């Protein structure tokens, strides 16, 4: 990993944007054009760094950016991180790269996903037909290179924020074991996440749970909109009824979009620690407490 990122320094969004050119290289999810993106690869991404943001739109080459922990900290667990942005942009700062760095510094391999945006102006993509497919493909890709990256392929999860949380939830609902005879080695891998982390995910009425659903960590704010602040409590009860392990954190005095910011000293700002503790309690971290 790049020396700047390997320091473990926890950066605020505004500071982090200054180091954008030092990020690990993104890895495309497909070797050629992604299904449904044929003929669009020449259209460059649009990056907005104004006002301390690090937002990206016009994504036609979906990818993951890896943040790998040093060997002496690695736990073997991995998580694909889907940033939010209302399916119109990707908020890659406080819901992506800065968190990926935090995860790697605390022993968890993280892969920040750039997925195609279904609701930006002029988009030809859909949430279920493209953005979810990107999420599933990212999980397959991580599993396909698990040995290379020091990852246990049975401990690969997915985390999402807001719109990305919708994708993480859908990935836990819709998955397969892969195509054993596929020519593409990535397609041979299963895309079921071993765990989910849903951070203020939208459109919660879509989510279903059954006894085979992955265990879930949920975090949101009390002051968020109803489908989240109440929807997550309702979702927790669905997991409870199905007999699937779940943890729910609803932070008072907190609204939407808190993400991860190193300078947020509120209880909501400490949710990554609660997530890591939950992983440990759930048996997803091995010998690295």
Residue 287 falls inside a structural domain: no
In sequence order, the 6+-apart residues with CB closer than 8 A to the CB of 68 are 1, 74, 104, 109, 149, 150
> What pLDDT was estimated at residue 7?
30
Is a pLDDT exceeding 50 seen at residue 4?
A: no
**pLDDT of 31-45, one tens digit each?**
999 999 999 977 789
Residue 286 falls inside a structural domain: no
Q: What is the pTM (predicted TM-score) of this model?
A: 0.91
> What pLDDT was estimated at residue 11?
36
> What pLDDT was estimated at residue 41?
76
Residue 30 falls inside a structural domain: yes
> What pLDDT was estimated at residue 22?
81
Is a pLDDT exceeding 60 seen at residue 126?
A: yes
CATH number of the domain to which 174 belongs:
3.40.50.1820
- Domain hosting 94: range is 5-281
Residue 288 falls inside a structural domain: no
> What pLDDT was estimated at residue 32?
92
Structurally, how many domains does the chain consist of? 1
- Coil, helix or strand at residue 53: coil
Mean per-residue pLDDT over the chain, rounded: 92
Residue 146 falls inside a structural domain: yes
> What pLDDT was estimated at residue 16?
44
> What pLDDT was estimated at residue 123?
96
Q: Can you give 58-78 as a three-state secondary structure string?
A: CCCCCEEEEECCCCCCCCCCE
Is a pLDDT exceeding 50 seen at residue 2?
A: no
**pLDDT of 48-66, one tens digit each?**
999 888 999 999 999 999 9
Task: Locate 136 and state its tokens.
Answer: 């599933």
pLDDT band at 84 (very low <50, low <70, confident <90, very high): very high
CB burial of residue 87 (10 Å; 0-12, 13-18, 19+): buried
Residue 66 falls inside a structural domain: yes
Is a pLDDT exceeding 60 seen at residue 1?
A: no
**Beta-strand relationship, 90-91 and 55-57:** antiparallel
Is a pLDDT exceeding 50 seen at residue 6?
A: no
Q: How far apart are CA 246 and CA 98, in angstroms?
A: 25
Q: Phi and psi of 126, rounded to 5°?
A: -125, 160
Residue 263 falls inside a structural domain: yes
Is a pLDDT exceeding 50 seen at residue 144?
A: yes
DSSP assignment string, 113-165: EE---SSSTT----IIIIIHHHHHHHHHHHHHTHHHHT--TTSEEEEEETHHH
In sequence order, the 6+-apart residues with CB closer than 8 A to the CB of 125 are 36, 116, 117, 118, 131
pLDDT band at 208 (very low <50, low <70, confident <90, very high): very high
């Amino acid at each position: 990993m790049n020396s700047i990122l390997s320091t473990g320094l926890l950066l605020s969004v505004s500071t982090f944007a200054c180091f954008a050119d030092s990020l690990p290289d993104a890895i495309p999810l497909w070797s050629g054009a992604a299904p449904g993106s044929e003929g669009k690869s020449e259209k460059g991404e649009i990056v907005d760094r104004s006002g301390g943001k690090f937002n990206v739109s016009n994504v036609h080459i979906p990818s993951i950016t890896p943040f790998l922990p040093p060997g002496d900290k690695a736990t073997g667990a991995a998580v694909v991180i889907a940033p939010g942005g209302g399916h119109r942009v990707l908020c890659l700062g406080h819901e992506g790269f800065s968190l990926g760095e935090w995860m790697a510094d605390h022993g968890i391999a993280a892969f920040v996903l750039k997925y195609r945006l279904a609701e930006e102006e002029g988009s030809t993509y859909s949430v279920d037909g493209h953005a979810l497919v990107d999420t599933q493909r990212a999980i397959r890709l991580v599993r396909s290179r698990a040995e290379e990256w020091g990852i246990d392929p049975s401990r690969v999860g997915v985390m999402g924020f807001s719109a990305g949380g919708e994708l993480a939830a859908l990935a836990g609902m819709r998955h397969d074991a892969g195509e054993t005879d596929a020519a593409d080695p990535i397609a041979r891998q299963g895309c079921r996440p071993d765990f989910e982390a849903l951070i203020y995910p939208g459109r919660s009425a879509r989510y279903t749970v059954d006894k085979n659903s992955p265990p879930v960590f949920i975090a949101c704010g009390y002051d968020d909109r109803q489908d989240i602040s109440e929807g997550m409590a309702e979702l927790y009860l669905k997991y409870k009824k199905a007999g699937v392990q779940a943890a729910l954190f609803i932070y008072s005095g907190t609204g939407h979009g808190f993400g991860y910011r190193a300078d947020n000293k509120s209880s909501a700002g400490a949710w990554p620690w609660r997530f890591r503790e939950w992983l440990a309690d759930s048996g997803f971290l091995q010998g690295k407490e």
